Amino acid sequence: MEPTRRKETIDSSTIRNLVRRPMESRLTRGQKNSSKRVKMFLFEITQFL
């Protein structure tokens, strides 16, 4: 069994990654189209799972 501290850090880091998506924060030019693409991509992944 893992110590609870380790689990907490993993959970907090995954939540942080979900909130702040690196791909979306990087986009500046043509952000609408890119964000649309990213959203569709994420939507397809969630549907696939």
pLDDT tens sequence across 8-47: 555 655 555 555 555 555 555 666 677 788 888 888 888 8
What is the reported pLDDT for 16?
Answer: 59
Q: Is the pTM of this model over 0.85?
A: no
What is the reported pLDDT for 17?
Answer: 57
- Going from the C-alpha of 12 to that of each of 2, 6, 33, the distances in angstroms are 16, 10, 30
What is the reported pLDDT for 46?
Answer: 86
What is the reported pLDDT for 21?
Answer: 57
Q: CB-based burial of residue 38 (10 Å sphere; 0-12 exposed, 13-18 middle, 19+ buried)?
A: middle
